[in-house]
Chains A and B, each alone.
Chain A
Amino acid sequence: MIKTLKTKAMALAAATALSATFLVGMTPDATAQEKSEFKVCWSIYVGWMPWGYLETSGIMDKWAEKYGIDVEIVQINDYVESINQYTAGEFDGCSMTNMDALSIPAGGGVDTTALIVGDYSNGNDGIVLKDGDSVEALKDQNVNLVELSVSHYLLARALDSVGMSERDLTVVNTSDADMIAAYATDDVTSVVTWNPLLSEIEATPGSTKVFDSANIPGEIIDVMMVNTETLADNPDFGKALTGAWYEVMGLMAAGNTEALESMAAASGTDLAGYQAQLDTTKMFFEPAEAVSFTKSAELPATMKFVAEFLFDKGILGEGAPSPEFVGVSFPDGSVYGDANNVKLRFDTTYMEMAAAGGL
């Protein structure tokens, strides 16, 4: 009897230990070290299509080989899921916006560096109304959008611009996958969304775009974010990624049809459709452009807006006592927020190497 109990207790302990090991095992090598294999992820968006092309065209492999490493670029169908995977440590880098980088990995304590500032939305995100032609007309309406996303941020900035607040309307959380179908129903009167959904919805007769990201240029920024420790221990990873990226930027700037057509097809449109999306995107084809943007005085002001928005919505990390809870550092060494908790770093080192042709 006692013997069985003992066996049982041991079996239980073993099972517990096993499952604990499994759960801990979900932790990848967070302890920094030199390694030779890297994984980055991206999701469908006009400014991130080059990542897919980098992988399929073999340009990434070429650059990785040059530095004697291996870089795998993985496409993830769900944007938020890709950030979550990066935050959980499954990837060494991932493409995301400045806002999501601050709230998800940085807010979750994963020290993250903006390696390549690729573009900013210059009309790719917009607010569309069925009746009415001004932001003021949003009063008392239901507004369908992906809550807590850049769409929500855009709405907050639009309302700010006319002295209104979210209390003047009702935000209805709607999945981006259902946005177009939702817009077709009668009880949806206004939506906030991004391209390519935006252009589809805007094209519906009787629709008016009353505000878009071109009204707040440079605030919704698309960046390749990488793990700070991984980058510090493996500068070759940063060099290979940056070098490969700007090779493709060169092709795009030169209007290389093969590259552009491949990206258009991968985003489910044709060359003209993709070109139209690029027109509302401020791509930094030249590394020098990206460097001066990242060093500009506007970036800290933007990050302050973003941090305040996130804090206001209660999503800047658990128990964040103020918008300054997570520190954001800039290339000149200045820090917004808590200097002892810097988790998001804008660093132009690698983009400058590219600009100087040193890769």
Chain B
Amino acid sequence: MRLINRKPGKPSAMALAALPFAGVVIAYAVASHFRRLENPADKLLPSIEQMAATFWRMAFEPDRRSGDLLLWGDTIDSLIRLAAGMGAATLFALIVGVLVGFLPYVRSTLSPFIASISLIPPITILPILFIMVGLGETSKILLIALGTAPVMTRSVAQAVMDLPKELIIKAQTLGASTWQMMTRVVLPQVLPNLITAMRLGLVPAWIFLISAEAIASTSGLGYRIFLVRRFLAMDVILPYVLWITFLAYLIDRLLLTLSRRAFPWNHMQGESL
């Protein structure tokens, strides 16, 4: 039997999926063990138990200084920033994306501009944002929004342009106005694409969130990582990185599920990653 026709069953698929993770964990545990043989207080590769203990302490024991549960405080603050930034970007992408994709005059006006804006590395305008709107929450949220909106807008606009011409012509024959076509034909069809755009936008959104928090902040997941970097606390940094990865994965899966539930017709062509 040829290799391409052999498929793992469900249990073996799960075991295979776990393999690379297990490999990394084992490699880490071995390396950490050998380093700590020489120096039990080694900061570079702390033991897995120690990282678990630190994670537990940050999640369930009040901080000595502020009395807060650090992990949850950081997580909530970061997620609020992410949601506000992504929310603004999504709204912008939906409205402007549909207009640009559907109305040739708007497209001629805005398309080159948005394309140019999307090429600016957002992190480079962070100092400008700081001077303009200060170091507070606004600049962090704006960075996320500015960093993700142009690309999301372009992908929504492209999705609108990819709609079958027949649909539009049919709607016009039936006497639909431009507004009716936008709200009744275009909007429902681009919503699944909007979710895809959000899923793609989340990756840079996390980067900008962490970068903004690293520069000036009093809380947040990125803040904590860059704070404890000052004393090489890998026992905090590594679990935080895993936690961020987990949150990002969770949000991505939730959006995918939402898309499947709300727009099942869009997922009929087959499975997606």
Contact = CB atoms under 8 A, between A and B. Distances in A.
A314 B63 contact: yes
B38 A317 contact: no
A172 B217 contact: yes
Nearest to B44: A88
B156 to A, nearest CB: 34
Nearest to B57: A319
Interface residues of A, number: 51
A148 B226 CA distance: 11
A80 B42 contact: no
B240 interface: no
Contact of B27 (A23, A174, A175, A178): A23
Contacts of B34: 20, 24, 27
Interface stretch (A33-41, A185-193, A216-224, A297-305): A185-193
B8 to A, nearest CB: 12
B135 A144 contact: yes
B218 A173 contact: yes
Contacts of A315: 228, 230-231, 233
A27 B35 contact: yes
A349 B149 CA distance: 62
Interface string B134-154: 111000000000000000000
Contacts of B27: 16, 19-20, 23
B135 A148 contact: no
A316 B271 CA distance: 51
Contacts of B119: none
A173 B23 contact: no
A162 B238 CA distance: 39
Given A19-B27, A23-B31, A173-B223, A148 B230 contact: yes
A109 B41 contact: yes
B26 A16 contact: yes
A252 interface: no
B30 interface: yes
Contact of B232 (A84, A146, A181): A84
B130 A104 contact: no
A280 B50 CA distance: 43
Interface in B1-50: 19, 23-24, 26-28, 30-32, 34-35, 38-46, 50
Nearest to A9: B19
Contacts of A318: 41, 46, 50, 54, 233, 235
A232 interface: no
Given A23-B31, A108-B42, A178 B54 contact: no
A170 B135 CA distance: 14
B176 interface: no
B103 interface: no
B273 interface: no
B131 interface: yes
Contact of B216 (A20, A182, A313): A182
A31 B38 CA distance: 8
A210 interface: no
7 contacts: A12-B19, A16-B30, A23-B35, A84-B229, A87-B43, A87-B44, A181-B130
Which 10 A-B pairs rank lowest in CB-CB distance, beginning with the nearest? Answer: A109-B41, A23-B31, A108-B43, A20-B30, A187-B134, A19-B27, A174-B216, A109-B39, A20-B27, A24-B34
Interface of A: 12, 15-16, 19-20, 22-24, 26-27, 30-31, 80, 83-84, 87-88, 100, 103-104, 107-110, 144, 146-149, 166, 170-175, 178, 181-182, 184-188, 312-315, 317-319
Interface of B: 19, 23-24, 26-28, 30-32, 34-35, 38-46, 50, 53-54, 63-65, 127, 130-131, 134-136, 214-218, 223, 226-233, 235
Given A20-B34, A178-B130, A181-B131, 9 more contacts: A16-B26, A20-B26, A23-B30, A24-B35, A26-B45, A146-B230, A148-B231, A149-B230, A182-B216
